[in-house]
Amino acid sequence: MRKIFLAPSILSANFYKLGNDIEKTLLGGGDIIHFDIMDNHYVSNLTFGPLVLSSLRKNGIKSIIDVHIMAKPVDRLIYDCIKFGANFITIHSDSTIHLNRSLKIIRDHGCKAGIAINPAQSLNFLEYIMDSIDLILVMTVNPGYSEQIFINEMLPKIKKIRSKIDNSNFKNILLSVDGGIKKKHIKNLVKIGVDIIVMGSEIFKKKDIYQTTKNIKKILINYSKNY
């Protein structure tokens, strides 16, 4: 059975009780905390940064954290996120002038490096960085906000990336999908070979975060038995 990870995105959490919301989703089976940094420049929204990451670590959040940085310039933030306990750092290729160098900073400091791909972005550049990444995050909405509609046209693109990974020398690269994902999308995403499913509002905007996470995790596990 393939292990598929559930990554709750805290962009949709209640920031007044962030720690609580995170504990509930982890207890319900969330595998990776997805941590969206936005800067009101690369994207038009403004969220949280390394200091919040530091608070989570200092207060006992031990889970894997994938920091998805939607900020420009990005290198300075990479160093801070490493310092404060990120496990994965996922960046956008157009948020840095020297992508290869930024990815190298992440890996050289013991973090896993991820690359995020925007909906309208083509995939050609991927072949030149496959040896420098551990994760590909396919955006199924335009980055910046939660509760947007999943762009169905991204499904063939996800399949393309799956086969790029499988036909490369870097088969361990994780394929992650982020944006607009609801329960109804899980079956298809599992079927086409996604490794990580990011979900924000579908988890944190529900009344019972623990039970919702538990249900979604159950669905995930059931589908992963079949595909």
d(CA 156, CA 15): 35
**x/- letters, 138..177, toward Zn ion (CB under 5 A):** ----------------------------------------
Q: Which residue has the tokens 């996604």?
A: 194
| Cα radius of gyration rounded to whole Å, the chain | 16
23 binds, among ligand DX5, Zn ion, none (CB under 5 to 8 A by kind): none
By CB under 6 A, the count of residues binding ligand DX5 is 21
Per CB under 6 A, contacts with ligand DX5 among 119-158 are 141, 143-144, 146-148
Residue 92 contacts ligand DX5 per CB under 6 A: no
**Omega before 73 within 30 of 0, i.e. cis:** yes
Distances (CA, A) of 182 to 105, 149, 152, 216: 34, 9, 12, 9
199 binds, among Zn ion, ligand DX5, none (CB under 5 to 8 A by kind): ligand DX5
Q: Judged by CB under 6 A, which stretch of 20-28, 101-109, 194-202, 219-227 contacts ligand DX5?
A: 194-202
Residue 66 contacts ligand DX5 per CB under 6 A: no
d(CA 112, CA 106): 7
Which one of 25, 47, 102, 201 is in contact with ligand DX5 (CB under 6 A)? 201
Question: What single DSSP character describes residue 21?
Answer: H
Question: What single DSSP character describes residue 133?
Answer: -
Catalytic residues, by residue number, are 36, 178
Which one of 23, 178, 195, 202 is in contact with Zn ion (CB under 5 A)? 178
Q: Which is nearer to ligand DX5, 68 or 217 (CB)?
A: 68
Residue facing Zn ion at closest CB distance: 68
d(CA 158, CA 175): 8
Task: Report, in Å, the least distance between residue 108 CB and ligand DX5.
Answer: 25
Contacts with ligand DX5 by CB under 6 A lie at 9, 11-12, 34, 36, 68, 141, 143-144, 146-148, 178-181, 198-202
Report the interface residues with Zn ion, using CB under 5 A.
36, 68, 178
